[in-house]
Amino acid sequence: MTNQYRGAFGHALPSPGEGRAARRITPLAFLLLAVLFLILPALTAHAAMNIQEVKSQKGITAWLVEDHTVPIISVRFVFKGGTTQDPVGKEGLIHLMTGLFNEGAGDLDSDAFQVKLDDAGVEMSFEAQRDGIYGSMRMLSLRKDAAFDLLRLAVNRPRFDQEPVDRIRAQIFSGIIANERDPEAIAQRKWLRAIYGTHPYSRPDEGTKVSLAGITPADLSAFHKAIFARDGLHVAVVGDIDAKRLSEKLDQLFGELPQKQTLSPVADVAAKLGQQVEVNYDLPQTSLQLAFPGVGRSEPDFFAALLMNDILGGSPYTSRLWEEVREKRGLAYGVGSYLAGYEHSHALLVTTATRSDRAAETLSIVHRVVKDMAQQGPTEAELEASKKYLIGAYAINDLDSSSSIAATLVGLQVDNLGIDYIQRRSALIDQVTLDQVKAAAKKLLSAEPGIMVVGPLMGGKG
C-alpha cells in the first residue's frame, strides 16, 4: 500500500481514542522504542526476503515475516467495510466505534483495560477508513501472551459502555465544531459533495453533530457483529514469533468471530470533474487542488501511470511541477501530485498553495505543465530516472519498520497482488515502456480537471 497510491480526497480526523491510549508511557514502552531504533536496520534488511502464509486450524490466514533478531512483534489487520457502511442518518458510527476498542472489553472497564495495556507495554490502535476498519498492535515478544489476550478482548468483546461512548463522542463533537470554522475543512466538505454527489464517499467520516448524537451503544454493538467477521479479514504479522505459535494466536484472536460479514453494497463512482469549487476566505495564501481521472490498482496501465505521476509531481525536488512552480518562479513552498485510490473510485490529484495574489498565475503554470505532459509525455531520461527512484525508494518508504512492513503486507492482500509481489515489483516497473507512459499521460491528463480553490476568489481558472 504505497504512499504514491493510497491517498485521500479529503482530510480525515485522527482516530478519536489515540490520545488517551498514549498518555502514559511505561518503562516497557521506552524499552520497546529503544530496541526498535537500535536494531531496526537488521529487521528492515531481512523483512522482505521471506513472507510465509500461515493458516490456522480454523482457516484464518495471515502473512508472516519471521525475524528473531528483534524482540518485537507488530500486527496489522483490516476488516472490509469502513465508513461507507455507516447507515444514513447515523454517519460517524464506524469512526466512533474505532475510538472505543481500547475503552473497555470483556470484564475490564475502560480504566482497567488501560491499566492492562500499560502493564503489558502494548501499543494498540484502531482506525476507520472509507473501505475498511484497520487495527494495529505492537508489543515486546516477552509479553506477547498478555498483549494478544488484550487484543482478543478488544476484537471479540468490546463493551461500548455509555460513559466512554459519551466521552469519545464529545471529543469528536469538538473536532466537528472546530472544523465548522476551518476554511480547509469547509472546502473539503464542499468538494466531496461536488465530485461524489450522494455517494457514501461524499460523507464526512466523523459524521455530523446531529448524526453522531443519535448513535447508541446498541447501534455500535450491532455494527461490530456485522463487520467483524472472518471472510472480510486480512492479517499481517512481523517479528519475533514463529509460524506455529502465530497459527495458535490467530485462532485465539479471530477464531470465534462469525464466518460471514453483513455489508451493504457500495457502487463504484466516477468523480464528477470539469467543475471549479471555490471557498472564498480572506486568507494570505490560496490552496489549489486539481483532480484528474485516476487508475485502479489492478488495471494493466497502473505502473505506467505511477511512473508518469512521479515525473509530473510525485517526487519532490525533481518533478516537473516542482521545477516550474517552485524552483523557477518561487510560487509555492511545495507542489506535488499523487495517485489517490479507494476501492470504488480513483483520481490523480495535484495540490499546492501560494500567495493569494499569485494564485491565478500558479494555476496557469500547473495547467501548462499538465497539458505538456498529456501531449508530449516524459523523456526517456526522465523515465529511467523515475524507474530507479521508485525501485530504490520502496524499502525506505514501505519497509522501514516492522509496523510499516505489516501495513504493506496487509495492503498487498487487500489489493490481491500476491505474496510474491515485493519480489516481482522491480521487474514490473522496469518493463514499462516510454510509449506506455505517454499513453497513460494522455489518458489521465487530457480530461478537464475538477479544481478546488480555498482563499480569495480568482475570478476564473487562470
pLDDT tens sequence across 321-365: 999 999 999 999 999 999 998 999 999 999 999 999 999 999 999
- Number of Cβ within 10 Å of residue 153's Cβ equals 21
Residue 152 has pLDDT above 90, yes or no: yes
Task: Say what the pLDDT of residue 400 is.
Answer: 86
CA distance 6 to 351: 15
pLDDT confidence band for 5 (50 / 70 / 90): very low
> 89, 81, 70, 151: which is closest to 116 by C-alpha?
151
Scanning 121-242, the segments in alpha helix (DSSP H) are 144-156, 162-179, 183-196, 209-213, 217-227
CA distance 441 to 445: 6
Tell me the three cell numbers of residue 412. Answer: 498487498
CA distance 28 to 162: 31
CA distance 334 to 327: 10
CA distance 29 to 119: 10
CA distance 199 to 206: 16
Q: How many helices (H) and strands (E) does the chain have?
A: 18, 11
CA distance 360 to 193: 24
Alpha-carbon torsion, ordered 53, 54, 56, 61, to 10 deg: -40
Find all residues with CB under 8 Å of 45, minimum gap 6, and list them.
none
Looking at residue 14, the DSSP 8-state letter turns out to be: P
Percent over 90 (pLDDT), the chain:
84
pLDDT confidence band for 283 (50 / 70 / 90): confident
pLDDT tens sequence across 18-42: 232 333 333 444 444 444 444 444 4
Mean pLDDT, rounded, for 194-223: 96
pLDDT confidence band for 45 (50 / 70 / 90): very low
Looking at residue 260, the DSSP 8-state letter turns out to be: S
pLDDT confidence band for 461 (50 / 70 / 90): very low
Least confident of 46-50, 172-176, 245-249, 370-374: 46-50
Q: Which residue has cell 466537528?
A: 176
Percent over 70 (pLDDT), the chain:
88
Residue 252 has pLDDT above 80, yes or no: yes
Domain with CATH 3.30.830.10 in the chain: 18-254, 276-454
Cβ atoms of 378 and 437 within 8 Å: the answer is: yes
Task: Say what the pLDDT of residue 49 is.
Answer: 65
Task: Say what the pLDDT of residue 103 is.
Answer: 97
CA distance 385 to 389: 6
**Helix/strand/coil (H/E/C) assignment for every residue in 82-98:** CHHHCCCCCCCHHHHHH
Mean pLDDT, rounded, for 93-120: 96
Residue 16 has pLDDT above 70, yes or no: no
Instruction: Please give the C-alpha separations between residue 2 and each of 46, 88, 108, 339, in angstroms, as whole numbers.
Output: 19, 32, 37, 10
What is the pLDDT of the chain when averaged over all its residues? 89
More confident residue, 15 or 300: 300
More confident residue, 15 or 410: 410
Q: Indicate the CATH number of 276-454 among 3.40.50.10420, 3.40.220.10, 3.30.830.10, 3.40.50.300.
A: 3.30.830.10
List residues bridging with 353 in a β-sheet.
287
Instruction: Please give the C-alpha separations between residue 385 and each of 303, 327, 433, in angstroms, as whole numbers.
Output: 15, 19, 13
Cα first-last separation, the chain: 35
- Number of Cβ within 10 Å of residue 210's Cβ equals 11
User: What's the order of all strands across the beta sheet hosting 233-239?
Assistant: 51-55, 61-66, 233-239, 72-80, 132-140, 123-128
pLDDT confidence band for 456 (50 / 70 / 90): confident
- 18-254 CATH: 3.30.830.10
Task: Say what the pLDDT of residue 425 is.
Answer: 96
